[in-house]
Structure 1
Amino acid sequence: MDGLAEMLLRHRRLVAPSLLATVPAPEPAGPEPRGWRRRKVTTAPEVSDGLVALEADLLVLGYLLSAPLRRRLGELTGTELANAGRHLLQAVLAELGGYVDHVPLFRNFPASIPADTFEFYVRRVFTLLVQQPEQPCVLCGKTGTVHPVAPCAHLVCDACWDGADFSACPICHRRVDPDDPFLRPSDAPASGAGREWRPERTTLLWLCDDPAESARDLLQTLLARQTPLRREDRAAVATLVEGFWPRSAGWLPDRIPVRETRATVLAAALRHGAPEDLLDRHADSAVDVLRLLYALMDGDAGLRERPARRSSLSRPVRRALLARLDRMAVPYLVEDLHRHSEAWKHMAEVLHPFEQYRRHPDAALAFAALRGTRLDTGTPFARALLERAAEHPGVLRFDGVRLRPITFAASVETALRDGDHARALELLTRRPGELVRRVVQLARNTPAGHLAEAVAGAAPKASPGVLIAALGQLRTPPGGTRMFLPRGGSARIWAEPDTRRPIPADAVASVSSALTAEMLRRAAALPAVEVAVLDEALADLLAPTAERSASSALVRLPRGSVQPIPAGERIRLFLHWAEPAEQRVDLDLSVALFDERWRFTGLCDYTSLRLGGTAAVHSGDLTSAPEPLGASEFVDLDVRALRALGGRYAVPVVFSFNDVPFDQLVRGFAGFMDAPDGLFDPLAVRQRFDLAGPAKILLPLVADLWSRTMRWADLNLSAAGAFHNMDGNHEQLARLGAALEDAFGLGDRVTLWEVSCWHAAARAPVVVVRHRDGTTSRYLRGPAEGMGDFAGRLTALTVPDDSRETLGGAGFAGAVEGDLELADGAQVYALHPRDLDPARVHMLGATDLVGQLSPTPPSGTA
């Protein structure tokens, strides 16, 4: 139940359901005697005092108890309240990164950081090479002060190296035995000691009476999403299905839109002997079966990385999967196998498709074509497959030795290569999702009217993520930078100048109109509301189209979005990790500084602990992180001083110096905060994100010091080419940072503001807009005004009707800050929910806001 608790906390973003799942409700009373009247329950003084103290501790961290939650806590005994309060505070601190001790190399950071990193390095090397046991110190000449430290056994002089400041070996920077005499108590102030802090925002904690009901609601919400889930969400799906099986089987919908999510569900269900009809219902293509195989082997259902090891399958599972493949249409089966040919060849050794070729002839036929199996031997096996292949002349051809596939993709590519765009369009109309994905490619060579008509026919069957991506690509003119983000979690990112010729204006207008009309049509099918409230600042947040590789974060930002950095002059970046018992892990937190033209200006990392005196200060390079302490590194940034050095862009990067992937860490996270009072202050944390997945390098953001904003990048970089430090790779980093700004800053991508405007224009006759300066405007849909015209007026913020409307009583809202008065049951997206109560309103994530615009009835992700 504790695992469920933590998961509900992370996914609800509003802490309390997790902890109350572990707190026992008061024991139910027995039958009440006739004429007996229940007395009002009173709270014992010690419980009342403890509750007040708990509320105060939570308020300091920015959290409030809802009324039902407070009542439930007040019904506990003193011991139960203490236990619940402790777990609740730990859970809140975990969200902020404050549940561990943060001890950097220099405990008196930033005051004790050496002014000259090179001199510090020379002293370490000189000591390592020359220092001898039972001899005077080679640095200071004192005798009796040199001792080995455990476990690295380096000879350290107590007079030259301050054991009250260092938390690790001064020579190799690895953690030492906590009981080693070299380490002495530090006088460094405790984190946040004596600080008076008023939280910037508050979040309401709510009561979860029934964990199973909350689990069902969360599972159904995740399964209904139309875009690929984050890693943490996929893990939650598996936990919920397995943790509540077989009851969870009844919670599954008839159709799960996202194929990766289907694979996660099926893998969890098959481990418990799920019925065959579940496989038929949720695996309707060979790619679905491949995803399932990856999930069964603890691999990536998104097919970005092969499973770490290929495990065998039980005979019933193997037969069930082959039977499912055999029931699929041969043209699609053959094509799907060739789409992921290497992966299927790898998995064929587990499935043994030829073992039962008479029972599963179509599956055997498809694998024979995939593997190029020789069929010229005249054996019963060859005769059976050739007879079967003869039934599909347009799909397979026999060259006398092997079967060769004729795939749909090859036909489309041939038509495009030959310049027969009419033929390509005719083929693509058979597959709506593929047509919408290729719309930019087609728009340059296809008459606008024909293409718009085809897109209008295909759009109702495509997922909202595909429509949004196509709309953004259409509206972004060439001339900037094209950036390719491979699906692999640690694959190389590619960027190049966009030299394509422009798309004709009439094609952009007509196809964009068809895509927008489809989104408005879907929005109009949702429940109508009287008033909608929108926040203009949503224009800084991009609409998510996929979140497969997105990091788990305190504030969930879609990649490419822009948000303000902390308002103070000093910002502190932090990194914490802990290594497994048998594996040393050396992570590094680094920051590179560039000017407005992306020319390298300076560096703050383990090779340069100070930049410009105090403009940037690094806490020191820890090279190991054994449990329970782990390791922490910090970098302090002085915004004004960095700008004085000619810097505009600050780019932080987390490296795994010794090539250990993040997913092998016991724990790992990073983030940034306002300059704290003390070393680490949870109250000051503004963003915290996990280090996860197979990546070894993470670029979380690009900070623009001129505009005091940061663009959320969340990019896992390839470690190829020895990209393990900033000094030798700042040119590559500059190209990447500039490409990010071009790709996300110069384009006309769909934002959450535009998505919210689609919702509002189609569902509400009255829309109130809160502007960036705090003023409001009211928009009224005219009697003869179409949805498209109203949405266009809203999106462009032109011609408001008046500015008298208040922000209360709305049935739909999209905002950055959740400080709104809404009607009961209102649907609301808020980046920062504040004190919105999920018991009163229906909270939406960014993916939910987009996912509501899914095809009806669902047709899957195209």
Structure 2
Amino acid sequence: METFAARVEQALGQGDLPAAVRLLARRPGELVRRLHHLLRVHATWLPDEPLPAELAGALPAALRAVAPGPLLGAYGRLRAPREYGERRLYFPRGRVASAHARADPGTPVPAALSAPVCALIEAELLRRAGESARGAERYEVAVLDAALADLVVPFAERASARTLVAVPRGSVQPLPDGQRLRLFLHWMQRPHQRVDLDLSVAFYDEEWRFAGLCDYTRLVTGPRAAVHSGDYTSAPPPHGATEFVDLDLPALGEAGARYAVVVVFSYNDVPFEDLTEAFAGFMALTPAEATRRRTGGFHPGSVRQRFDLAGSARIRVPMIVDLGTRSHTWTDLDVGAAAGFHNLARHHAEIGALAADVTAHFAPGTRATLWDLACAVGAAGSDEVLVRDRTGRGLDVYRRGADERVAAFAERLRAGGRSDRHTERPPDDTARLIAERLTGARAFAALVHADVPAPAGVCGTLYRLHPGPTDAAPDTLERITAGELTARFAPNE
């Protein structure tokens, strides 16, 4: 008996888009997941034709019915221009966050086809946000950080590592201030067990050509541009073992390195889940601290990120550092532990290829972000939105005009268009100005840094990435995570 999927594939293979759409309309989730494929088929068979009527007619009902994951996944896939032969990254379902990439030789979807679909998705996001606002009191004001555009909408959270700061996978964040970064790895094995974990860093140039490494086989890179603390091959209780790699960021740049890829290996193939404890992370160091702590201590107050090593994986790539932009992409990926895959000297090419694919996959503008969601909530739920720029100095006030459609208001916010008032002040003054506006108000706030002084009498909703003074706001301000913000866009009919 021919399956549903087989009938869909047969129709697509024959270029019969109307037949494929009629089938997929019975399963809205499948239709939305296959939007890119459907548009690609249309662009291949009828390259000069506009959005087909069958798809345009079926889309509104399908978009209203699907969960946030497929809706936002389709939005991210279609919003950016694509090229012939681009590399595509896939994240199979499972307990660990593995990834696979391959070249995609298919026809790129032209903007003339993707733009109308993206507009429909944006309208659906606003509709859902508006329904939520009508289900409760509207917000008197919304406050958004422009840097939310660097935070990818979370996906595959079931496979995410527990972290000190819950950064969604694929998000880009600035490195801590300073010229030196210390990476650390700590683990403790069970009694009568031997576990050898290795903290390693591979360096690549602008074109992702291998430029060197720092690991147990090479403890010093260049003129102390990267320095490894030394190899520990066992971590008995009660103290375990800790490895460090200190990075001198300017020196690495001068040596021709653009990217630093951090890797944790289980050399003797013990899965991370078998350890009593295992975690890694990074901290900022001054030169004096780097000298003073050369033996391997670290102060909790210096830690900027810490993540648990868990699950059945044996190799993890937690992050990719861009030395040029002084930022890091949070990847939290596991790599298949192929035979002999225990050091970077032999396998730097595979790690470099994966890292290049990951940075391309999560390039700015290619994925749905928390900025997209926050703009929808702000535009649909309030007539006044404050947007703080990336420097923390600039503050734009947007007020919805009496005759301005919600969609037009949202577009002004998303595009950083004309605001009704703009001020430039020192960051602390801007934060205090925001706190004054929030005092006593019902508000929606989506902040990267919760550095706004806690407003008195505020109620409403708060998302923040990094903790800060805003956390001391009264309990009437509901705290939500990135996943909970996304869940607010669930179908509401």
Q: Do these two structures clear the TM 0.5 threshold for a shared fold by scoring above it?
A: yes
Q: Which of 288, 298, 302 is equivalent to 1:680?
A: 298
Aligned to 1:111: none
Aligned to 2:401: 782
Aligned to 2:28: 432
- When the two structures are aligned, how many residues end up with a matched partner? 453
**Does 1:634 pair with 2:244?**
yes
Aligned to 1:848: 484
Aligned to 2:9: 413
Aligned to 2:417: 798
Amino acid aligned to 1:785: E
Q: Could you say if the C-alpha distance between residues 834 and 696 of structure 1 is closer, same or farther in structure 2, counting changes exceeding 3 Å?
A: same
Q: Could you say if the C-alpha distance between residues 747 and 736 of structure 1 is closer, same or farther in structure 2, counting changes exceeding 3 Å?
A: farther
How far apart are 1:779 and its partner, in Å? 0.7
How far apart are 1:559 and its partner, in Å? 1.1
Note the alpha carbon deviations across 1:65-124, whole angstroms, 9 max, x for none: xxxxxxxxxxxxxxxxxxxxxxxxxxxxxxxxxxxxxxxxxxxxxxxxxxxxxxxxxxxx
Note the alpha carbon deviations across 1:448-479, whole angstroms, 9 max, x for none: 44323212111111111211000011113222
**Does 1:517 pair with 2:123?**
yes
Q: After TM superposition, what 4+ stretches of structure 1 lie above 4 angstroms from structure 2?
A: 489-492
Amino acid aligned to 2:129: A
Q: Which of 38, 50, 55 is equivalent to 1:442?
A: 38
Note the alpha carbon deviations across 1:375-394, whole angstroms, 9 max, x for none: xxxxxxxxxxxxxxxxxxxx
**Does 1:658 pair with 2:274?**
no
How far apart are 1:420 and its partner, in Å? 2.4
Q: Which of 421, 438, 450 is equivalent to 1:818?
A: 450
**Does 1:648 pair with 2:267?**
no
Aligned to 1:14: none
How far apart are 1:541 and its partner, in Å? 0.9
Aligned to 1:503: 109
Whole-Å separation in 1 of the counterparts to 2:34 and 2:311: 30
How far apart are 1:761 and its partner, in Å? 0.4
**Does 1:453 pair with 2:57?**
yes
CA contact (8 A) 1:587 1:623 kept: yes
**Aligned positions of 1:567-716 closer than 5 A:** 567-675=177-285, 676=289, 678=293, 679-716=297-334
Whole-Å separation in 2 of the counterparts to 1:826 and 1:450: 42
Aligned to 2:360: 742
Amino acid aligned to 1:478: R
Query: Does 802-811 or 609-618 show the bigger shift?
Result: 802-811
CA contact (8 A) 2:96 2:160 kept: no
Query: Does 559-568 or 684-693 show the bigger shift?
Result: 559-568
How far apart are 1:765 and its partner, in Å? 0.4
Amino acid aligned to 2:21: L
Q: Which of 460, 471, 485 is equivalent to 2:91?
A: 485
Whole-Å separation in 2 of the counterparts to 1:817 and 1:733: 32
Whole-Å separation in 2 of the counterparts to 1:594 and 1:796: 34
Whole-Å separation in 1 of the counterparts to 2:76 and 2:459: 32
CA contact (8 A) 2:272 2:311 kept: yes
How far apart are 1:855 and its partner, in Å? 0.9
**Does 1:557 pair with 2:161?**
no
How far apart are 1:746 and its partner, in Å? 5.4
**Does 1:829 pair with 2:433?**
no
Q: Could you say if the C-alpha distance between residues 492 and 849 of structure 1 is closer, same or farther in structure 2, counting changes exceeding 3 Å?
A: closer
Q: Which of 325, 336, 347 is equivalent to 1:729?
A: 347
**Aligned positions of 1:90-105 closer than 5 A:** none
Bigger relative contact order, structure 1 or 2 (CA pairs below 8 A, ≥6 apart): 2
Secondary structure at the counterpart of residue 201 of structure 2: strand
How far apart are 1:721 and its partner, in Å? 4.5
Query: Does 659-668 or 577-586 show the bigger shift?
Result: 577-586
Secondary structure at the counterpart of residue 458 of structure 2: strand
Aligned to 1:171: none
Aligned to 1:147: none
CA contact (8 A) 1:493 1:718 kept: no
Note the alpha carbon deviations across 1:200-226, whole angstroms, 9 max, x for none: xxxxxxxxxxxxxxxxxxxxxxxxxxx
Amino acid aligned to 2:259: Y
| TM-score, normalising length: structure 1 | 0.51
Aligned to 1:385: none
Secondary structure at the counterpart of residue 445 of structure 1: helix
Note the alpha carbon deviations across 1:658-714, whole angstroms, 9 max, x for none: 111111111100000112453211110000000001111010111011111001111
Amino acid aligned to 2:22: E
Amino acid aligned to 1:493: A
Amino acid aligned to 1:662: F
Aligned to 2:48: none
Secondary structure at the counterpart of residue 263 of structure 2: strand
RMSD: 1.8
How far apart are 1:787 and its partner, in Å? 1.5
How far apart are 1:431 and its partner, in Å? 0.7
Whole-Å separation in 1 of the counterparts to 2:130 and 2:389: 25
Whole-Å separation in 1 of the counterparts to 2:403 and 2:97: 52
Q: Specify the structure having the higher radius of gyration (Cα).
A: 1
CA contact (8 A) 2:96 2:159 kept: no
Secondary structure at the counterpart of residue 164 of structure 2: coil
Q: Could you say if the C-alpha distance between residues 530 and 449 of structure 1 is closer, same or farther in structure 2, counting changes exceeding 3 Å?
A: farther
Whole-Å separation in 2 of the counterparts to 1:642 and 1:543: 32
How far apart are 1:490 and its partner, in Å? 5.5
Provide structure 1 residue ranges, at least 5 long, that are not aligned to the other structure: 1-404, 858-862
Amino acid aligned to 1:500: G
Amino acid aligned to 1:508: S
| TM-score, normalising length: structure 2 | 0.88
Amino acid aligned to 1:845: T
Amino acid aligned to 2:486: V
Whole-Å separation in 2 of the counterparts to 1:800 and 1:842: 28
**Does 1:468 pair with 2:72?**
yes
Whole-Å separation in 1 of the counterparts to 2:120 and 2:99: 32
**Aligned positions of 1:64-213 closer than 5 A:** none
Secondary structure at the counterpart of residue 337 of structure 2: coil
Secondary structure at the counterpart of residue 159 of structure 2: coil
Whole-Å separation in 2 of the counterparts to 1:554 and 1:434: 35
CA contact (8 A) 1:615 1:642 kept: yes
Whole-Å separation in 1 of the counterparts to 2:271 and 2:327: 30
Note the alpha carbon deviations across 1:135-179, whole angstroms, 9 max, x for none: xxxxxxxxxxxxxxxxxxxxxxxxxxxxxxxxxxxxxxxxxxxxx
Whole-Å separation in 1 of the counterparts to 2:381 and 2:98: 43
Amino acid aligned to 1:434: E
Whole-Å separation in 2 of the counterparts to 1:491 and 1:832: 23
Aligned to 1:244: none
CA contact (8 A) 1:468 1:545 kept: no
CA contact (8 A) 2:200 2:216 kept: yes
Provide structure 2 residue ranges, at least 5 long, that are not aligned to the other structure: 43-50, 424-429
How far apart are 1:421 and its partner, in Å? 2.0
CA contact (8 A) 2:12 2:41 kept: no
Whole-Å separation in 2 of the counterparts to 1:450 and 1:766: 39
Aligned to 1:772: 390
Whole-Å separation in 1 of the counterparts to 2:177 and 2:227: 19
Amino acid aligned to 2:479: M
